[in-house]
Amino acid sequence: MNAEFIIGLAGQAVYLVLQTSAPMLVLGLVVGLIVSIFQATTQIQEQTLAFVPKIVAVLLALLLFGPWIITKLVDFTSQILGNLYMYIG
What residue ranges do the domains of the chain occupy?
Answer: 3-88
| Model confidence, pTM | 0.80
Q: What's the number of CA atoms in the CB half-sphere (13 Å) around residue 22?
A: 8
Q: For each of the chain's 89 residues, which pLDDT tens digit applies?
A: 688 888 998 999 999 999 999 999 999 999 999 999 998 899 888 878 888 999 999 999 999 999 999 999 999 999 999 888 777 76
Query: What is the predicted pLDDT for the residue at 24?
Result: 95
Helix and strand totals (H; E) in the chain: 2, 0
The number of C-alpha atoms within 13 Å of 52 and in the hemisphere containing its C-beta is 4
DSSP state of 43: T
Q: Which H or E run includes 13?
A: helix 3-42
